[in-house]
Amino acid sequence: MRTLAFDGRMGASGDMLLATLCDLGADPSVLHVVEDHLDVRYEVRDVVKNGIAATSVDVLLSGEEGERDGEEGDRGADDTDYGHAHASDHPHHDDDHPRNHDHGHTHDHSLPDEHVHAEGHGPHRSYTEVVEVVEAMDLGSGITGDALAIFTLLGEAEASVHGESVEGIHFHEVGADDAIADVVGTLLLLADLDVDRVVTTPLSVGGGSVSMSHGVYPVPGPATVEIAERADWSLRGGPIDRELLTPTGAAILGHLAEGVDHLPSLRVDRSGYGAGGYDLPEHANVLRGIVGEGRTLVREPISVLETNLDDATPEVLGGLQETLTEVGARDVSILPATMKKSRPGHLVTAIARTEDAARVARRLAEETGSLGVRETPATHRWIARREIESVRIDVEGQRYEVDVKVASDDSEAVYDVSAEYDDAAAVARETGVPIREVLRLAEAAYR
How many Å apart are CA 387 and CA 403, to the nearest integer?
10
**79 by DSSP, 3-state: which?**
coil
Q: What is the sign of the dihedral through the CA atoms of 251, 252, 255 and 259?
A: negative
Question: Is the CB of residue 257 less than 8 Å from the CB of residue 233?
Answer: yes
Task: Kindly list the distances between the CA atom of residue 270 and the CA atoms of 2, 13, 237, in Å, as whole numbers in the listed order.
Answer: 11, 21, 28
How many Å apart are CA 243 and CA 84, to the nearest integer?
7
Peptide bond into 202 cis (omega under 30): no
Tell me which residue of 256, 288, 257 sits closest to 271, measured CA to CA.
Answer: 288
- 421 sits in the region (left: phi over 0; alpha: psi -120 to 50; else beta) called alpha
How many Å apart are CA 288 and CA 276, to the nearest integer?
11
Question: Is the CB of residue 329 less than 8 Å from the CB of residue 360?
Answer: yes
The tens-digit pLDDT sequence of the chain (447 residues) is: 789 999 999 999 999 999 999 999 999 999 999 999 999 999 999 999 999 999 999 999 876 443 333 333 333 333 333 333 333 333 333 333 333 444 444 444 344 444 566 565 667 788 888 999 999 999 998 999 999 999 999 988 888 887 777 766 666 545 578 899 999 999 999 999 999 889 999 999 999 998 776 678 899 988 899 999 999 899 999 999 999 999 999 999 999 998 888 888 788 999 999 999 889 989 999 999 999 987 667 777 889 999 999 989 999 999 999 999 999 999 999 999 998 888 899 999 999 988 889 999 999 999 999 999 999 877 778 777 778 989 999 988 889 999 999 887 755 667 789 999 999 999 999 999 999 999 999 999 988
Q: Which domains are seen in the chain, by residue range? A: 2-294 (no CATH), 302-378 (3.30.70.1380), 383-446 (3.10.20.300)
> Helices marked H in 40-140 — which ranges?
127-136
Q: Within 13 A of 102's CA, how many CA atoms are on the CB side? A: 2
Q: Return the beta strands (E) in 310-397 as ranges.
A: 329-338, 344-353, 374-376, 381-383, 385-395
How many Å apart are CA 352 and CA 119, to the nearest integer?
44
Could you tell me the strand order of the sheet in which 258-259 lies? Answer: 40-49, 52-61, 266-275, 286-294, 2-7, 197-200, 258-259
Question: Is the CB of residue 307 less than 8 Å from the CB of residue 370?
Answer: yes
Provide the 8-state DSSP code for 278: -
> Helices marked H in 247-343 — which ranges?
247-256, 314-326
The pLDDT value recorded for residue 45 is 96
Is the whole-model pTM more than 0.75? no
